């Protein structure tokens, strides 16, 4: 049934590049040429995946000083150009088709890991923010990861209990203070490994606070899977 619906949908709405309108590549709303323009976040910290200056590799100074609570963080692309445009179109113009393309790209990158998570969670929005925006962009992305990887997405296990003010204008230490105990996590049965899905990781402090909360609740391994890294 689902396949038929997909088939009919494809006849009327074939996959089309959101940037140049060429035919989409590999079920993406993105053509091969535009995908080739994405800048991969390659030279980055082994721990938090923050971009590192040229000719420097290993672990960044911040992680050496304060090792993060998550076990691994992946941000596929640099937060600029088309990846940034995709995220902003989803977040601010509610273009849900962007979530599908983002989800498929994250899934393609993560699907061959030796160890796969037993559950996914999306970085939650506070209920007030959720109501304002009408949706949670990370949850939209995670929905497609769940489908592609066949890993359950836990919808209400992780909640944002404090409505942290917009983080963008705050300094790193202010963000950290602002986020302290901002999340709660409740589970019926224990989980060994959870991947946290995010659109873009900026300083990593939100991801770190969620990982801390999950670990406190007994999760043994936490990875952060984001589409972009600022």
- Catalog residues that contact Zn ion under the rule CB under 5 A: 17, 19-20, 22, 31, 34, 45, 47-48, 50, 60, 63
The residue among 63 and 154 lying less far from Zn ion, judged by its C-beta, is 63
Least CB distance from residue 31 to Zn ion, whole Å?
A: 3
Number of H helices, E strands in the chain: 9, 6
The residue among 83 and 124 lying less far from Zn ion, judged by its C-beta, is 83
Least CB distance from residue 210 to Zn ion, whole Å?
A: 16
Least CB distance from residue 198 to Zn ion, whole Å?
A: 16
168 touches 128 (CB < 8 A): no
Least CB distance from residue 172 to Zn ion, whole Å?
A: 12
Cα–Cα–Cα angle for 197, 145, 187, nearest 5°? 60
The residue among 17 and 179 lying less far from Zn ion, judged by its C-beta, is 17
Beta pairing partners, 160: 183
SS3 202: coil
The residue among 31 and 200 lying less far from Zn ion, judged by its C-beta, is 31
Please name the residue ranges forming H helices in the chain.
2-12, 32-36, 61-65, 81-93, 96-110, 127-133, 137-149, 172-179, 205-216
The residue among 45 and 157 lying less far from Zn ion, judged by its C-beta, is 45
Least CB distance from residue 59 to Zn ion, whole Å?
A: 6
Write down how long the chain is.
230
133 to 18, 51, 94, 128, 156: CA distances (angstroms): 22, 30, 9, 9, 18
The residue among 22 and 115 lying less far from Zn ion, judged by its C-beta, is 22
Nearest Cα to Cα of residue 224 among 174, 215, 216: 215
Least CB distance from residue 39 to Zn ion, whole Å?
A: 16
Separation between Cα atoms, residue 214 and residue 49, nearest integer Å? 20
């Amino acid at each position: 049934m689902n396949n038929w619906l997909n088939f009919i949908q494809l006849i009327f709405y074939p996959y089309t590049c959101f940037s140049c309108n060429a035919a989409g590549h590999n079920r993406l709303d993105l053509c091969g040429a535009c995908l080739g323009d994405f800048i991969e976040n390659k030279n980055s910290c082994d721990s938090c995946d923050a971009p590192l200056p040229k000719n420097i590799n290993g672990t960044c100074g911040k992680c050496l000083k304060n090792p993060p609570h998550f076990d691994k963080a992946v941000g596929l692309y640099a937060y600029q150009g088309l990846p940034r445009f995709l995220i902003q179109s989803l977040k601010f113009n509610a273009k849900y088709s962007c979530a599908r393309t983002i989800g498929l790209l994250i899934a393609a990158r993560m699907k061959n890991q030796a160890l796969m998570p037993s559950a996914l969670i999306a970085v939650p929005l506070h209920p007030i923010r959720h109501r304002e925006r009408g949706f949670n962009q990370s949850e939209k992305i995670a929905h497609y990861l769940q489908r592609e990887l066949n890993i359950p997405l836990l919808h209400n296990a992780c909640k944002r209990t404090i409505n942290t003010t917009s983080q963008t204008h705050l300094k790193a230490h202010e963000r950290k203070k602002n986020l302290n105990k901002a999340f709660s996590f409740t589970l019926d049965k224990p989980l060994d490994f959870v991947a946290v899905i995010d659109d873009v990781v900026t300083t990593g402090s939100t991801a770190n606070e969620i990982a801390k909360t999950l670990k406190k609740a007994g999760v043994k391994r936490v990875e952060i899977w984001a589409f972009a890294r600022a």
